[in-house]
Amino acid sequence: MKFVDEAQIRVSAGDGGSGCVSFRREKFIPFGGPDGGDGGNGGSVWLVADEGLNTLVDFRHMRAFKAPRGQGGMGSQMYGKGGADTDVRVPVGTVITNVDTDEEIGDLTAHGQRMKVAQGGRGGLGNIHFKSSVNRAPRKSTPGTPGEVRDLKLELRLLADVGLLGFPNAGKSTFIRAVSAATPRVADYPFTTLHPNLGVVRIGTDQSFVVADIPGIIEGAAEGAGLGIQFLRHVSRTSLLLHVVDIRPLDGSDPVEQVRTIEKELQEFDAELVERPRWLVINKSDVFSDQDELQAVADDIIARLEWKDPWFLISAAGEVGTWDVCLKVQQFFDAERAKQRDNKEVTDDVRMRGESL
């Protein structure tokens, strides 16, 4: 299935039904009075997160969604039937933006989470509401209000724990193939990866994390160059970034400059991403036959970058060092979860003490 992570749709809630003007007509009751019922409310449109979906491709073919209108009121004080709500299924991780205002109005991050994106119109009032001591036979009713109509932009942001960053051909796809069951396409030319891939890395029982292979980023990606800008949004949900760099790029470029270029693109796209935990993974160590030379080149890269965070020297193609990276990543998440549990226990303890006072 083609991966599509952006779509624009129009949602139209149902109009409310009109109120009814009616008078009671019954034998031996010549002046029965008004008995027109209210109109039914129009149906609303809801977006519902569904973990069974992983792409927005369906919205390339179906772009308009409309809820049914409410039924008009009737005589004998019968109210019109309300229109049923319309549910639109979207993948978990979908961000909803109002096209007209460019305002982000929602983010569905859990299976079954619902969000109302178009409110149905209210039903109109029948003439039973307008009777009074001076107006015994009102011939007045109100129409139903129109339902909301919105143009929405849907943007899918993958829910992954770890995001892989790097230039094209740095070895990101090879790395995810080595550590998970994912099988992204790999080749020796730029832009092999044309859409993100997810892989689940299992370390042990109840120990796993999800890795997102992001298409290669090049200079100018934040302004729209290359393919990377289309997928930088997927990095925003990750807790840890693995910055993969080729120790000896085929084009002869400097690995240090490649790292700094990616940092610059992250800064321009979202400054918060630069502050996120980011580990350096120096790949393709198998191009060196001399281990001393390999270590010297790696040390030079680290020294020139003045890198203070964890870094690794691996060969993704040969699966050398990849498992060590995964173990360290799992330790990172275990420590983060333990910290969150401790914070929660402290918060709960403070709350319980406050309630006891």
Q: Does the structure show a pLDDT above 50 at 249?
A: yes
Asked if the model's pLDDT at residue 190 lies above 70, the reply is no
Q: How far apart are CA 345 and CA 356, in angstroms?
A: 16
pLDDT, position 244? 92
Say if residue 248's pLDDT is above 70: yes
Question: Which residue is it, tokens 């730029």?
Answer: 190
Are 171 and 244 in contact by the 8 Å Cβ rule? The answer is yes
Q: Kindly tell me the burial class for residue 3, based on how many C-beta atoms sit within 10 Å of its own C-beta (0-12, 13-18, 19 or more).
A: middle
pTM of the model: 0.65
Task: Determine contact, residues 210/200, Cβ cutoff 8 Å.
Answer: yes
Q: What would the pLDDT profile of 138-188 be if each residue is shown by its tens digit?
A: 989 999 999 999 999 998 877 678 888 888 788 888 888 888 876 655 545
Domain definitions of the chain by residue range? 6-156, 162-342
Interatomic CA distance for residues 126 and 128, integer angstroms: 5
Non-local (6+) Cβ contacts of 66 within 8 A are: 11, 12, 13, 14, 45, 86
Percent of the chain scoring above 70 in pLDDT: 85
Q: What is the CATH number of domain 6-156?
A: 2.70.210.12
* Rounded-to-integer distance, Cα 309 and Cα 322, Å: 17
Q: How far is CA 347 from CA 265, 287, 316, 333, 353, in A?
A: 38, 52, 43, 21, 10
**How many angstroms separate the CA atoms of 282 and 248, rounded?**
10
On the question of pLDDT at 42 being above 90, the answer is: yes
Confidence of residue 226 (pLDDT cuts 50, 70, 90): very low
Q: What is residue 210's predicted lDDT score, i.e. its pLDDT?
A: 83
Q: Do 162-342 and 6-156 have the same topology in CATH?
A: no
Q: Name the fold adopted by 162-342.
A: Rossmann fold (3.40.50)
Q: Rounded to whole angstroms, what are the CA distances from 298 to 176, 259, 320?
A: 22, 13, 15
**Does pLDDT of 47 surpass 90?**
yes
pLDDT tier for residue 230 given thresholds of 50, 70 and 90: low
Question: Which has the minimum average pLDDT: 66-70, 118-122, 156-160?
Answer: 156-160
